[in-house]
Each structure stands twice: as C-alpha cells, then as structure tokens.
Amino acid sequence: MNMALSVWILAVGVSGAILFMVMTGMLNRVLPSKPRRDTWFEVNNQILNALFTLMCLYQHPRRFYHLALVCRWKAGDMHQLRQAYCKDGACKPNERKHMTAVILLLHLNCFAQYALCGLNLGYRRPRRPVVGVALTVAVAICAPAVAGMYNNLSPLGR
C-alpha cells in the first residue's frame, strides 16, 4: 500500500510540476508554439484529474461505510469510528455530531471530484464551463481541508 501511495504522490508531483511550469511560461523555450503548450497543459490536467478521481474512488467506499456506522451508532460502531476520527480513540462529547460533519465534508470532496471529472471528460478545453470547473475545484480542495481542520479543532481532536 505504501508503494502504491508513493507512486501516486510521485505522479501527482511530476504532473503538477509540469502543469505549473507550462502555466507560468517556464517551458516556453522548450515548447515554443501555443498549441503545443495547450496540449501539454490539457494532458497534465487530465492526468491530475484522473489521479485525484482514482484516490476518491479508493476512499469513497470507506466513507460510505463510516456514514452507515454513524447512522447506525452501536457500541462496536462507536469504537471503530473513534479509532478513525477521535484523538487516541477516546470518547468525546457530542462525538456523533462532529463525526457526521467530518464524514459529510469528506463525501462532498468525493462528489466535487466526480463532478470535476465529468466536466473534464465531457467537454473539450475551450468549451469547458470555467465557473463549473472553478467551483468544483474549490469544493474538492476546501472540503477535505475544512474536514481536517474541523476534526483537529473540534472536540474530536482534543
């Protein structure tokens, strides 16, 4: 698992670096024509989109399982969820409510990534709705960031 995650991180880093260099003009000497730069931009954008969508597809079943556990909320479920979301696996005040918020934010991340994937695959670059892409990228980035901050700053992380 660690090897697969390392390859994923390496691929995101390389593709993200190439995308950044194309966007900032650092590769203008190597790729002098605009159509060629646009092709490199789109290819690396699609690679990053696929990598992040793949990660969501990997994580989403576990998130659905955690949502089912939080809805069912039995003794064994509580222990399993505490191990995943509570610091030191300890019982916290209002933990069910806080865990539900974190799990729903993580679901929002996955659904935003799926929407972004649909936009990237469904539209060619010039016809892709900029507002839709910007909104889905913002939600796909902010939802897990807010979930992580909420998890650490709420009673779950204390």
DSSP 13-64: HHHHHHHHHHHHTTTTTTS-SHHHHHHHHHHHHHHHHHHHHHHHHHHHHHHH
Mean pLDDT to the nearest integer, 87-113 = 94
How much is the pTM? 0.90
Mean pLDDT to the nearest integer, 50-67 = 96
pLDDT of residue 88: 86
- What is the biggest distance separating any 2 CA atoms in the chain, rounded to whole angstroms? 63
DSSP state of 156: G
Does the structure show a pLDDT above 90 at 75? no
Return the amino acid letter for 24.
T
pLDDT of residue 146: 97
Token pair of 117, please? 């994937």
Spatial separation of the C-alpha atoms in residues 105 and 118, rounded to whole Å: 20
Mean pLDDT to the nearest integer, 81-91 = 89
**Do 69 and 80 form a contact (C-beta atoms < 8 A)?**
yes
Spatial separation of the C-alpha atoms in residues 19 and 45, rounded to whole Å: 7
